[in-house]
Amino acid sequence: QFNKVGKALKLSSSQTISAFPSFASKALPAFAPAPQTLQSPTVFAAKGYKMKTHKASAKRFRVTGRGKIVRRRAGKQHLLAKKNTKRKLRLSKMHAVSRSDYDNVIGALPYLKVNRNAK
């Protein structure tokens, strides 16, 4: 069941040595702790540090109740006399952030409760 190569024994991984006593068959001593099931830990940040929120981004982006990230439109700060009312109304409404920008926004705001599957 095993091959001799010089003085060393060469074993394949599928073979077992039946001449040696099995260590797994012995009962554990009474003082040994019971084996516990291993759960994968959830890691939020390396070394246990808190991630910093980019405060300028926190003032510009909000999350809706359904988990979408929304922002304001540009162009409603100055020179409003030449813009008609309909245009100013459209610019004052919140607008959903593009899906391609989600990774950038979430990187700046790590603790947002964002639903990535929201449409």
pLDDT digits (tens, 9 = 90+) for 5-52: 555 555 555 555 555 555 555 555 666 566 666 666 665 555 678 899
pTM: 0.55
User: What average pLDDT does this structure show over 72-84?
Assistant: 95
Examine the pLDDT at 1 and tell me if it is beyond 60: no
Query: Which sequence spans correspond to the domains of the chain?
Result: 55-108
- Tell me yes or no: is domain 55-108 CATH 4.10.410.60: yes
For 51-89, letters b (16+ CB in 10 Å) and e give: eeeeeebeeebebeeeebbebeeeebeeeeeeeeeeeee
**The pLDDT of residue 118:** 74
**pLDDT exceeds cutoff 80 at 70:** yes
